[in-house]
């Protein structure tokens, strides 16, 4: 049995009479994936029986529809070309595959002998119309963050994303084999169907994003990487959806947002990169950080010691980043800052030079000891030749070893 393309030049009354006897399918709603064809009521064929197609019946195929003819549970013919056909049991299958490619023939050979019937075992015939339009409005969103290796900063960030994907039945024969069976009316996208497909999609999304990341696409570029994401998701789903006759045509990510922790990491990395590109900002940043550390340390119990450490850090930072301040001026600035912040913390004054008193041990800075009055002992002054280093008498005019004038 097969489908014969009906002539479109039939005469008026004859065509009108035949028009009442055809099997057709009105445009299917967006949530209808497949519909069983039924004869239009009011036709002249009053001897018809359920699931029996009368020889010579007219079948109309609309745009974005794929017709499947099933006899005793087996696919015997199909077409993807819109138009009006005559059902003839005496012809061979025509197999009009339209724009779906010759791959449908391979699918027909693969599944053609495997369909089983759930109806009357003696004989039955059915027609099914498969919706081949793009199925839009399939929304998705991550319930938990997905790790994404960001190429711009060379680190893994956790992102949340949401968007929409578009799918299409691209192999109606495989789809019928997987989901259709012998349905009695419509096969619709119900809640169970959505949950199953969403679970499959989300399972494929993470490895797909990993492939996109390997192409050096950063997380904030994901909303614009529609082709790359669509290709990656399609590749990840080819063993599941692909074998079921369904294809992902487009995946659009409306938003990709890092978690708070990842956002802080990114902000820090951006700041480091900005300062690394500007030596002047490097020095300013180092000095500001060291100064703030000194202020904080001055208020602590061990403020003075920590303050000196802060000054050392300031000196080191200035040397690394090309600061123009000298070490002495940095020390003075650091100490002044510490004195102000610490409420007048003073550093120890340098000790004055002197001679230890031989009587009481007091340091004598003048000619006499201020404690016991002992006269300051004479310092032992030794004289050496600048030429040979020989020790000479303090009053000598010439070296006794080499004769050098002293």
221 pLDDT more than 90: yes
Q: Where in the chain is the domain with CATH 3.30.479.30?
A: 135-262
Section 243-267 average pLDDT: 93
14 pLDDT more than 50: no
Write out the DSSP string of 100-115. Answer: G-THHHHHHHHHTTT-
Tell me the average pLDDT of the chain: 75
Residue 141, strand partner residues: 162
User: What's the pTM?
Assistant: 0.59
Dihedral angle, C-alpha 196, 201, 204, 210, nearest 10 °: -150
Section 181-207 average pLDDT: 87
332 pLDDT more than 90: no
Burial of 107 (0-12, 13-18, 19+ CB in 10 A): buried
Measure the CA angle with vertex 201, ends 197 and 203; round to 5°: 120
Instruction: State the DSSP code for 88.
Output: E
Tens digits of residue pLDDT in 58-102: 899 999 999 998 888 888 889 989 999 888 876 667 766 666 665
147 pLDDT more than 90: yes
| pLDDT-based confidence at residue 277 (cuts at 50, 70, 90) | low
Q: Are 127 and 67 in contact (CB under 8 A)?
A: yes
Count of CB atoms within 10 A of residue 374's CB? 15
> How many angstroms from the chain centroid is the CA of residue 188?
33
pLDDT of residue 217: 93
Section 305-333 average pLDDT: 49
Tokens of 367: 């000619």
Write out the DSSP string of 316-352. Answer: HHHHHTT----HHHHHHHHHHHHHHHTTS--PPPPPP
Tell the residue number behind the tokens 């294809």, with chain if given. 247
Section 6-29 average pLDDT: 58
Which stretch of DSSP H or E encloses residue 135?
strand 135-141
Q: Are 39 and 45 in contact (CB under 8 A)?
A: yes
Q: Are 209 and 223 in contact (CB under 8 A)?
A: no
Count of CB atoms within 10 A of residue 162's CB? 13
| pLDDT-based confidence at residue 270 (cuts at 50, 70, 90) | confident
Q: Are 34 and 131 in contact (CB under 8 A)?
A: yes
Q: For strands 155-169 and 146-150, give the pairing.
A: antiparallel
User: Going by CATH, does the domain composed of 135-262 fall within 3.30.479.30?
Assistant: yes
| pLDDT-based confidence at residue 282 (cuts at 50, 70, 90) | low
Tokens of 67: 């017709």
Q: Are 50 and 102 in contact (CB under 8 A)?
A: no
């Amino acid at each position: 049995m097969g489908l014969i393309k009906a002539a479109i030049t039939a005469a008026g009354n004859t065509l009108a009479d035949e028009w009442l006897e055809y099997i057709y399918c009105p445009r299917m709603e967006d949530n209808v994936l497949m519909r069983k064809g039924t004869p239009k009521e009011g036709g002249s064929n009053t001897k018809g029986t359920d699931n029996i197609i009368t020889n010579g019946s007219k079948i109309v195929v609309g745009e974005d529809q794929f017709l499947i003819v099933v006899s005793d549970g087996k696919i015997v013919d199909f077409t993807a070309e819109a138009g009006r056909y005559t059902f003839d049991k005496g012809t061979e299958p025509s197999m009009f595959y339209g724009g779906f490619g010759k791959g449908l023939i391979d699918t027909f050979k693969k599944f053609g002998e495997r369909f089983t019937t759930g109806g009357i075992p003696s004989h039955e015939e059915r027609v099914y119309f498969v919706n081949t339009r793009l199925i839009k409005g399939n929304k998705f969103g991550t319930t938990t963050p997905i790790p994404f290796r960001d190429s711009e900063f060379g680190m893994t960030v956790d992102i949340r994303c949401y968007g929409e994907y578009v799918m299409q039945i691209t192999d109606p024969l495989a789809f019928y084999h997987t989901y259709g069976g012998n349905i009695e009316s419509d096969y619709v996208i119900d809640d169970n169907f959505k949950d199953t497909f969403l679970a499959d999609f989300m399972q494929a999304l993470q490895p797909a994003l990993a492939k996109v990341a390997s192409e050096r696409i950063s997380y904030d570029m994901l909303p614009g990487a529609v082709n790359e994401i669509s290709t990656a998701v399609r590749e990840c789903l080819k063993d599941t959806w692909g074998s079921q006759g369904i294809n992902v045509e487009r995946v659009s990510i409306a938003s990709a947002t890092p978690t708070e922790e990842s956002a802080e990491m990114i902000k820090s990395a951006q700041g480091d990169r900005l300062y690394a590109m500007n030596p002047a900002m490097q020095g300013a940043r180092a000095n500001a950080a060291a100064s703030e550390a000194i202020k904080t340390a001055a208020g602590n119990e061990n403020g003075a010691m920590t303050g000196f450490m802060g000054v050392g850090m300031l000196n080191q930072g200035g040397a690394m980043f090309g600061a123009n301040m000298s070490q002495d001026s940095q020390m003075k600035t650091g100490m002044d800052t510490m004195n102000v912040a610490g409420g007048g913390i003073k550093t120890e004054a340098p000790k004055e030079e002197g001679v230890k008193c031989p009587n009481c041990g007091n340091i004598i800075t003048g000619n006499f000891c201020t404690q016991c009055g002992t006269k300051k002992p004479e310092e032992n002054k030794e004289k050496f030749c600048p030429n040979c280093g020989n020790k000479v008498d303090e009053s000598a005019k010439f070296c006794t070893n080499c004769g050098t004038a002293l």
